Every structure is written in structure tokens, then in C-alpha cells.
Amino acid sequence: MKTLSKSQIHRFITKIHGEDIAVRFIKPKYKEDKFNNFLANISLICETFLITINKNLWKETPIIYQKFLFLHEIGHIYSPYLNVKSGKSTAKDELYAQKWAINTAKKLKMKKLYKYSKNQLNAWKDYDWNGPYRKYRMAHNLAKKEGII
């Protein structure tokens, strides 16, 4: 499957955020690795934001999802709910990042990405309550309460 190149990633992030963000690709080695279940996360290291990508899952992802993922992860930077030092997010943080992604795609007239981001938020309703994606299911419920979906 075709993926975004490093230069395409750089241009996309700069377009969205206005400045570059460090991106690191890793290959989880162990099944117990907490990163094995997730495609990406964002953290703050020495006052630089770092998006870490799971290389094993990245290759299997369509480009529209890759762009959505960067948009969503950048949304975490603006979230008042994220603890970037611990790298852990909450349902409120996930919803904030998703709303930011949706609004930014709309503002930048990225129609396909805007629609995809909205659909992704709605798809979170199908996530398992007991699995590692519980916070996304809870974020979907918060979005319903707020009348977003």
C-alpha cells in the first residue's frame, strides 16, 4: 500500500501547524509493548512535540487515514486536557483533538479530510468498551451529548 513520504509528511504538518513537528517511526518488538495497539501518539520532549508512528501498522494504512491521523495528533497540541509529559490522553482530550481536526480541515477547505474526520468520530461508537480504545468510545458518547454527532 502506498504511504506518505517524509517530505509529504513535512509539508502536510507545516501546512496544518505552521511549523514542523518531529516525527519518529518505530517498530514495536514485543507483543506486550503498549504501543503495539496504537498507530500513533504525541508527546513533548525538550519543548518539541514528537509524533511517534507505529511502522508495523503504518504500511497498512491508506493515505487519507495517514493525513487524518496527523491532523488528529496535532489537535492534541491544542487540547487543554492532554498530559503530554505522560503521553496519556483521556476521552475529553480525544474529543477535543478530533473536533480540532474537523474544524481545521473545514477551515483549510480539505473536503475529503473534513468528511473523513467526521466519519471517524462517528465510527468510534463501534469500539470495544473493555479494550485499549475505550477512551475513543467514551469520546463518541461525549460528542453525542454535546450534539456534535
What would the mean pLDDT of 57-62 be, rounded to a whole number?
86
**Per-residue pLDDT for 47 more than 70?**
yes
Quote the pLDDT of residue 35.
57
Contact indicator for 69, 21 with CB cutoff of 8 Å: no
Quote the pLDDT of residue 84.
59
Closest C-alpha to 35, from 98, 87, 94: 87
| The three cell numbers locating residue 117 | 474526520
Is the pLDDT higher at 2 or at 102?
A: 102
| The three cell numbers locating residue 8 | 509529504
What would the mean pLDDT of 75-95 be, rounded to a whole number?
80
**Per-residue pLDDT for 68 more than 80?**
yes
Contact indicator for 90, 134 with CB cutoff of 8 Å: no
pTM given for the model: 0.85
42 bridge partner residues = 51
